[in-house]
Amino acid sequence: MQPSISQRRLFSYLLVFVLGALSNRAEEKVNQTLPPYETRAEHDPNGIGKFYLGREIAHVMGHQGADWLERPEREEEEKPGVMLEALKLKPGDAVADIGAGTGYLSWRLAQKVGEKGVVYAVEIQQEMLDLLGKKMAEHKVTNVKPVLGTITDPELPANAVDLVIMVDVYHEFDHPYEMLQAICRALKPGGRVAFVEYRAEDPTVPIKRVHKMTEAQVRKEAAVHPLEWVETIGTLPRQHIIIFRKK
């Protein structure tokens, strides 16, 4: 028995409805996976006007500001020795120093992991890597590998890194979602990520607001990825060290 015209029309309507619903669900799923960025006309002049999960992204410091990274007072302000002890590095570890700059921290990390370890010094500016190379030569360090990354990918080998550390740099990422996603791919199972950021909770920390982050904001942004919070260390004068582990 052939279906009537009205039955065929009803079937067509139902098919269109079902396909439309499936299409909407697929679109919603895609939208949920897209980075929730937004642009605002009114924003902090020290930021780029692009916001991620409610936080404005700060302007990147160019290689022209390299002298600031090597300022003598940085030792007292940031206590790199205390920071390194808190990271609990082991000889033979593979570490990625994202936003390595002139290598202020890279050569110190290299000493901690020893000759059998490696430090990937990642930068998006070749000029910074050139300066970093000179600093490594001055310190006679040979286990630091310079890596020219991009604004969306640090270009690290997959499943190869024990620790990724970002010192005063994550808040400047143009694409924080994509960068952290790529960082997670580079981590070994159980590998760690350390965010070292100036404490936005403390108004006495003399750093521009968009160049500071609260612990809550860091944890909010890390929660989007397969990372679990391990600990927050507050032993540094102005920064907190917020550590996560790859699930």
Phi, psi of 18 (to 5 degrees): -65, -45
> Is residue 40 in some structural domain?
no
> For the segment 28-63, what is each residue's pLDDT rounded down to a tens digit?
443 445 668 999 999 999 999 999 999 999 999 777
**Any idea which residue has 């992204």 for tokens?**
57
> Is residue 157 in some structural domain?
yes
What mean pLDDT, rounded, does the chain reach? 89
Residues 28 and 84 in one domain: no
> For the segment 58-80, what is each residue's pLDDT rounded down to a tens digit?
999 777 767 878 888 989 999 99
Residues 23 and 134 in one domain: no
Residues 90 and 206 in one domain: yes
Report the length, in residues, of the chain: 247
Residues 90 and 12 in one domain: no
pLDDT for residue 7 is more than 80? no
pLDDT bracket for residue 4 (50, 70, 90): low
Burial classification of residue 14, based on how many CB atoms lie within 10 Å of its CB (0-12 exposed, 13-18 middle, 19 or more buried): exposed
Residues 84 and 21 in one domain: no
Which residue type is seen at 42? Answer: E
Residues 9 and 115 in one domain: no
CATH number for the domain harbouring residue 98: 3.40.50.150
Question: Containing domain of residue 15, as a range?
Answer: 5-34
Residues 19 and 72 in one domain: no
Residues 153 and 114 in one domain: yes
pLDDT at 2: 54
Residues 129 and 12 in one domain: no
Residues 28 and 73 in one domain: no
Higher pLDDT pick, 145 / 10: 145
Residues 113 and 227 in one domain: yes
Full-model pTM:
0.84
> Is residue 148 in some structural domain?
yes
> For the segment 117-141, what is each residue's pLDDT rounded down to a tens digit?
999 999 999 999 999 999 999 999 9
Cβ neighbours of residue 221 closer than 8 Å, sequence gap 6 or more: 52, 53, 55, 176, 180
Per the structure, the count of domains in the chain is 2
Residues 153 and 205 in one domain: yes
